[in-house]
Chains A and B, each alone.
Chain A
Amino acid sequence: MAYDPRMVQPMRDETVRLGARELTTVADVDAALGDQHGTTLVLVNSVCGCAAGGARPALAMALKHEHKPQDVVTVFAGVDPEATARARQYFSDYAPSSPSLALFRDGEVVHFVHRHQIEGRHPLEIAKDLKAAFDKYCAPSSV
């Protein structure tokens, strides 16, 4: 199902404002995830207010943490289906869900946050878990 671009624009704007680069095409995704070095976080964004309404503020908080991924990118499920499907190929061990977050280090998924770990939780709680993952995988001493 394609969503009205006007409806999703505020959600796009919110993710860009918090520091994520939008990937809207397969080429964008391959350029960002194809030959990775360092740490990259992928947000699979969603229009679902039940969960994405918590995920985006949580990510905004987590990205203010001392340690964070070197690159933060986002694809929008239900809005950019081809880019989303391509991104999911890079973490195909994990069942598709949105919103979700995949943290890569040198091309390998080292941490994954499923929708079920987001929905119904306060953004502060989600952010706390993300910060713990950033400390573990993104701090200079962790490399």
Chain B
Amino acid sequence: MSGHVFHPGHAELHGITVVVETLGDALYVGRYHEETPKGLLLHDVAEHRPDGDKLTRDEFIKRTLKFGVRAEHRNFVLPTDQVRRITKLVEWEQR
């Protein structure tokens, strides 16, 4: 267990705001809850799709870092086989 997660038995990323890059164009920012049989369960999720968003992916991340996660989905399940990479949002501040 890293950091201060006070929910014993949960995944290391439980409660952490993460950036989920997918195998497609979509990118999601939300609070990691758990991996379920249906996929990755996230809470309070903002979504970036290059074809539907005026911001580039970098601009979207920068805005999110500065102003927070503008959640569009209270709960969101992303099939695990669509996930390319999961990183903590806070790590993007150093990029």
Question: In the complex where A49-B7, A50-B7 touch, is A119 in contact with B15 (Cβ < 8 A)?
Answer: yes
Is A120 touching B88 in the complex (CB atoms < 8 A)? yes
Partner of B6, one of A53, A100, A115, A116: A53
Interface set, chain B 1-55, CB cutoff 8 A to A? 2-7, 14-17, 44
Is A94 touching B67 in the complex (CB atoms < 8 A)? yes
Counting contact residues on chain A (CB < 8 A from B), the size range is 20 to 34
Counting contact residues on chain B (CB < 8 A from A), the size range is 10 to 19
- Most chain B CB within 10 A, of A54, A94, A116, A121, is at A116
Is B68 touching A121 in the complex (CB atoms < 8 A)? no
A117 to B2, CA, bound (A): 15
A35 touches B (CB below 8 Å)? no
A97 touches B (CB below 8 Å)? yes
Partner of B3, one of A112, A116, A121: A121
Is B71 touching A50 in the complex (CB atoms < 8 A)? no
Is A95 touching B16 in the complex (CB atoms < 8 A)? no
A43 to B15, CA, bound (A): 19
Interface set, chain A 42-96, CB cutoff 8 A to B? 48-51, 53-54, 93-96
B86 touches A (CB below 8 Å)? no
B70 touches A (CB below 8 Å)? yes
Is B15 touching A48 in the complex (CB atoms < 8 A)? yes
A136 touches B (CB below 8 Å)? no
A66 to B15, CA, bound (A): 32
Is A95 touching B69 in the complex (CB atoms < 8 A)? yes
Beyond A122-B4, A123-B4, 8 additional pairs, beta carbon < 8 A: A48-B15, A49-B7, A49-B15, A95-B67, A116-B68, A116-B88, A116-B89, A120-B3
27 A–B pairs (Cβ distance < 8 Å), ordered by A: A49-B15, A50-B4, A50-B6, A50-B7, A51-B15, A53-B4, A94-B67, A95-B67, A95-B69, A95-B71, A97-B69, A112-B68, A114-B69, A116-B17, A116-B88, A116-B89, A116-B90, A117-B90, A119-B16, A120-B2, A120-B4, A120-B15, A120-B16, A120-B90, A121-B3, A121-B4, A121-B90
